[in-house]
Amino acid sequence: MAGPMQITERTVGDVTILALEGRLVLEEGDTALRDYINRIVEQGRVKIVLDMRNVTRLDSAGIGMLVSKLLTAQKKGGRVKLLNLTVRGDHLLDITKLSTVFEIFESEDEAIRSFALEPV
């Protein structure tokens, strides 16, 4: 079994970028991500980009957590956007139709710029 999910945080302006590494699955990465995002949203940081490039596994619990945290940020006037989905992650979001719910980017710069394009 792999170790716990690693989350590395950076900020660019008022956007928080969380680079995820490991498994976003039931009882491993889902609770770590939940707690992390809850903490930063409570601090008022609600423009969040999740870099999924190094997520090695994503299951229904992980997808559920992504949706839950999108709603958490939206309630505070923010957004969660996804960056660098793996082929499997992209496929899972397509078949669950969540690719219509999340904004998904392949470029970090585009993801960051997209926040400026949103109405306040």
Count other Cβ atoms within 10 Å, centred on residue 28: 20
Q: How far apart are the first and last CA of the chain?
A: 43
SS3 label, residue 48: strand
Position 74: which residue type? Q
pLDDT at 120: 55
Residue 55 maps to a domain? yes
Predicted TM-score of the model (pTM)? 0.92
| Cα distance between residue 29 and residue 110, in whole Å | 26
Q: What's the count of helices (H) and strands (E) in the chain, helices before strands?
A: 4, 5
d(CA 114, CA 109): 9
Q: What is the CATH number of the domain that holds 102?
A: 3.30.750.24
* Counted domains in the chain: 1
Query: Per-residue pLDDT for the chain (120 aa), expressed as one digit of tens each?
Result: 455 789 999 999 999 999 999 988 887 777 889 999 999 999 999 999 999 999 988 888 889 999 999 999 999 999 999 999 999 889 999 999 999 999 999 999 999 999 988 665
Does residue 120 sit within a domain? no
Specify the residue for token string 């660098």: 84
- What pLDDT shows up at residue 1? 43
pLDDT number for residue 54 = 95
Q: Is beta strand 15-24 parallel, antiparallel or unpaired with respect to 6-12?
A: antiparallel
Task: Provide the domain limits for residue 97.
Answer: 6-114
Residue 1 resides in a domain: no
